[in-house]
């Protein structure tokens, strides 16, 4: 039989604390909301009132429910008001000494049976707990912002937290309608441990001028379906908060260099560029606290004109090739499809026509548009027929020797000035370029699968790619109705360079028995708004594909933290490749 929890204490009424008060009060619990001064208390009261008023305006609460909710909250100054609560949670700034002072006071004030919880997102719960004489009753309960909306709660137990306390807190979270994941006290817990390494990597990309802020953010939103790009998310979190979390994770998490805050981040914090809260961070906002971005976004260089493109050759017979053929034909380009052998040509033709027919059935295009697209496609098995096209896009197997041989052939066949593009997702574009005598005309156009659906194309320039070739690529992608993001020729480009280390980190987390695959997936979906958890995504992508890309990243960057997780290597060796084999991190044979 668990302890009865009826009265809640919340210490600190900033955005997070006020949100936690609302969560408890919405679910029928009495709350004593505590601040350090009358002015801070009034700000917290106003924050709660504003949130509940918005909920009424949106139809999420009735006026009667709002009034009942507010009636359950007792606003007080000083910790002494918490003497009789059953459970208290602090939500003060992320400073260990401040939290320890509060817990020492709570230990003295609160009744012996009270559970003491911290909402810390990165500090050691154990170090906080030792400020009390009851560390066995101290626990981490990490809500996500905004607390009334986000479904995830991370429950962090220390080595001395009583199992009964953990069970009582899990039951409390269930009463709140939250999904909890229970983990041990390690740096960053689950969500932040995976999220902030990715965010810091994105800052380093921007700092090194590898890609623009807009292109980095667009790449992750359009390429991975994330609700926000990493730099916009940093602005929302607050660059000072992000810096503190990264610094804490670096010091507590084995001093992994990927968690060492990027120098640019420290400079921006020092300069007071804290993100939305200050009105300026990676982006400039209408005013402090506003989500409205002002100022012009980075534009493609309009001073260089692209070459006219009317006819496009597509080399390859796989899913990516068929998707690219459809995309160009639907956009009005004349397309020449070249495959190796008549049988593959027929297969590609049938695949394209089937996809276009599905588009008609789904109302995405008319029968006339379908017929016109099909009429623009010519089928061939002879590379020599590419002699008169304006652009060649290769989509053959991801083997460097095969691509280099193809580009050498294209160099001999194609007329001068033709843009030669590779769709590689991981191989060096410069290797393809240097297989020709025209490296200035070679560029990477990394389409995402399925090409007719995905709106993103990474435009990858090498150190030899001419400005005219880049301009031509950007103009072509615009005609396709897709978003072009530019980057330099480095392993993984933007999306894969940010995505796969995150997936690799999740595997290492599982390998260390830090949390289960289900809990890690739930944490990232519910805590960060990701459309899929890392293990769900790995099974879809293919563990062998993930391992190959991670190896490329590690070989190029030589960053120890990028070394492929041994568990990933072992699973691939054993033939556990994900959905394609029916077994990966989960069993798909009966699904």
pLDDT tens digits, residue range 340-362? 999 999 999 999 999 999 999 99
pLDDT tens digits, residue range 251-274? 876 677 888 999 999 999 998 899
> CA 313, CA 389: separation in Å to the nearest integer?
6
Go through 388-403 and write b for each residue having 16 or more CB atoms within 10 A of its CB, e for each that does not.
Answer: ebbbbbbbbebeeeeb
pLDDT tens digits, residue range 528-576? 889 999 999 999 999 999 999 999 899 887 888 889 999 999 999 999 9
Phi, psi of 4 (to 5 degrees): -80, 125
Q: What pLDDT is attached to residue 514?
A: 87
pLDDT tens digits, residue range 515-537? 899 999 999 999 888 999 999 99
Positions annotated as catalytic residues are: 121, 142, 154, 192
> CA 147, CA 153: separation in Å to the nearest integer?
9
| Contact in structure between 90 and 110 (CB atoms under 8 Å) | no
Mean pLDDT of 388-400: 95
- pLDDT range class, residue 301, cuts 50, 70, 90: low
In the block, which residue shows the tokens 């999420």?
60
pLDDT at residue 329 tops 80: yes
pLDDT at residue 302 tops 80: no
Q: What pLDDT is attached to residue 159?
A: 94
Q: Which CATH architecture does the domain made up of 7-184 adopt?
A: 3-Layer(aba) Sandwich (3.40)
pLDDT tens digits, residue range 447-493? 998 999 999 999 999 999 999 999 999 999 999 999 999 999 988 89
In the block, which residue shows the tokens 């990309």?
205
In the block, which residue shows the tokens 């994105």?
202
Instruction: Answer whether CATH 3.40.50.2300 is correct for domain 198-290.
Output: no
The DSSP annotation for 99-110 comes to HHHHHHHHHHHS
> CA 120, CA 136: separation in Å to the nearest integer?
17
> CA 198, CA 177: separation in Å to the nearest integer?
29
Q: What pLDDT is attached to residue 254?
A: 66
Q: What pLDDT is attached to residue 46?
A: 94
Residues 6+ apart with CB under 8 A from 86: 3, 4, 5, 6, 7, 8, 113, 114, 115
Average per-residue pLDDT for the chain: 92
Please state, for a pLDDT cut of 70, what percent of the chain lies above it. 97
Mean pLDDT of 89-109: 94
Of the candidates 385, 382, 407, 381, the residue with the CA atom closest to the CA atom of residue 394: 407
pLDDT tens digits, residue range 38-83? 999 999 999 999 999 999 999 989 999 999 999 999 999 999 999 9
Q: What pLDDT is attached to residue 300?
A: 58
Q: Residue 180 pairs with which residues in a beta bridge?
A: 153
Q: What pLDDT is attached to residue 122?
A: 82
Q: What pLDDT is attached to residue 298?
A: 52
| Contact in structure between 448 and 456 (CB atoms under 8 Å) | yes
> CA 536, CA 161: separation in Å to the nearest integer?
31
Element (H, E) at 506: helix 495-511
Q: What pLDDT is attached to residue 188?
A: 79
> CA 457, CA 472: separation in Å to the nearest integer?
14
- pLDDT range class, residue 316, cuts 50, 70, 90: very high
Instruction: Answer whether CATH 3.40.50.720 is correct for domain 311-488.
Output: yes
State the DSSP code for 308. Answer: P
Phi, psi of 543 (to 5 degrees): -65, -30
Q: What pLDDT is attached to residue 320?
A: 94
What spatial distance separates the first Cα and last Cα of the chain, rounded to whole Å? 38
Domain boundaries, the chain: 7-184, 198-290, 311-488, 507-573
* Assessment of whether the complete model's pTM goes beyond 0.75: yes
Question: Which H, E and C letters describe 43-65, residue by residue?
Answer: HHHHHHHHHHHHHHHCCCCCHHH
- Any idea which fold 507-573 has? 1.10.1040
**Same fold for the pair 311-488 and 507-573:** no
pLDDT tens digits, residue range 422-441? 999 888 999 999 999 999 99
Question: Pairing between strand 311-315 and 293-294?
Answer: unpaired
Answer left, alpha or beta for residue 186, where phi above 0 means left and psi between -120 and 50 means alpha. beta
| Residue 544 C-beta-side C-alpha neighbours within 13 Å | 12
Of the candidates 213, 227, 308, 307, the residue with the CA atom closest to the CA atom of residue 268: 213
pLDDT tens digits, residue range 160-213? 999 999 999 999 999 999 999 999 988 778 998 899 999 999 999 999 989 999
> CA 96, CA 556: separation in Å to the nearest integer?
38
> CA 6, CA 79: separation in Å to the nearest integer?
18
| Contact in structure between 569 and 562 (CB atoms under 8 Å) | no
């Amino acid at each position: 039989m668990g302890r009865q929890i009826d009265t809640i204490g919340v210490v600190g009424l900033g955005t997070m604390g006020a949100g936690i008060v609302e969560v408890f009060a919405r679910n029928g619990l009495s709350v004593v909301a505590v601040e350090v001064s009358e002015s801070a208390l009034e700000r917290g009261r106003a924050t709660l009132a504003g949130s509940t008023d918005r909920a009424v305006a949106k139809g999420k609460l009735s006026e009667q429910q709002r009034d009942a909710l507010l009636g359950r909250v007792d606003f007080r100054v000083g910790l002494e008001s918490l003497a009789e609560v059953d459970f208290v949670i602090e939500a003060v700034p992320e400073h260990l000494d401040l939290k320890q002072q509060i817990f020492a006071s709570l230990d003295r004030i609160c009744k012996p049976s009270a559970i003491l919880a911290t909402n810390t997102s990165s500090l050691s719960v154990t170090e906080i707990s030792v400020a009390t004489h009851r560390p066995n009753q101290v626990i981490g309960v990490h809500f996500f912002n905004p607390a009334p909306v986000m479904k995830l709660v991370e429950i962090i137990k220390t080595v001395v937290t009583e199992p009964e306390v953990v069970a009582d807190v899990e039951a409390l979270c269930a009463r709140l309608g939250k999904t909890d994941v229970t983990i041990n006290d390690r740096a960053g817990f689950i969500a932040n441990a995976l999220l902030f390494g990715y965010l810091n990597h994105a800052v380093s990309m921007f700092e090194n001028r590898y890609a623009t802020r807009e292109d980095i953010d667009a790449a992750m939103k359009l390429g991975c379906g994330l609700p926000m790009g990493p730099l916009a998310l940093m602005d929302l979190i607050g660059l000072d908060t992000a810096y503190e979390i990264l610094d804490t994770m670096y010091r507590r998490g084995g001093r992994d260099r990927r968690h060492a805050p990027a120098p640019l981040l420290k400079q921006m914090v020092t300069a007071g560029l804290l993100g939305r809260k200050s009105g300026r961070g990676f982006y400039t906002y209408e005013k402090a606290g506003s989500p409205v971005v002002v100022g012009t976004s980075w534009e493609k260089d309009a001073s260089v004109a692209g070459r006219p493109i009317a006819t496009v050759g597509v080399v390859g017979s796989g899913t990516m090739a068929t998707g690219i053929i459809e995309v160009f034909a639907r956009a009005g380009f004349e397309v020449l499809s070249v495959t190796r052998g008549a049988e593959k040509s027929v297969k590609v033709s049938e695949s394209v026509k089937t996809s276009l027919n599905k588009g008609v059935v789904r109302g995405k295009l008319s029968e006339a548009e379908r017929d016109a697209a099909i009429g623009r496609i010519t089928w061939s098995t002879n590379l020599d027929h590419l002699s008169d096209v304006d652009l060649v896009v290769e989509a053959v197997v991801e083997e460097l020797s095969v691509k280099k041989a193809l580009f050498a052939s294209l160099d001999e066949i194609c007329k001068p000035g033709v843009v030669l593009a590779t769709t590689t997702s991981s191989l060096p574009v410069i290797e393809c370029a240097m297989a020709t005598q025209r490296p200035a005309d070679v560029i990477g156009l990394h389409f995402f699968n399925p090409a007719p659906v995905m709106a993103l194309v990474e435009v990858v320039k090498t150190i030899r790619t001419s400005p005219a070739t880049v301009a031509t690529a950007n103009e072509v992608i615009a005609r396709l109705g897709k978003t072009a993001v530019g980057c330099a020729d480095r392993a993984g480009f933007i999306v894969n360079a940010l995505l796969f280390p995150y997936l690799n980190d999740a595997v290492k987390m599982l390998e260390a028995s830090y949390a289960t695959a289900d809990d890690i997936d739930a944490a990232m979906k519910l805590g960060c708004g990701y459309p899929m958890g890392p293990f769900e995504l790995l099974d879809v992508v293919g563990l062998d594909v993930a391992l190959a890309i991670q190896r490329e990243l590690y070989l190029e960057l030589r960053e120890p933290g990028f070394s492929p997780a041994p568990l990933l290597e072992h699973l691939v060796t054993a033939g556990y490749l994900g959905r394609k084999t029916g077994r990966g991190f989960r069993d798909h044979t009966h699904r």
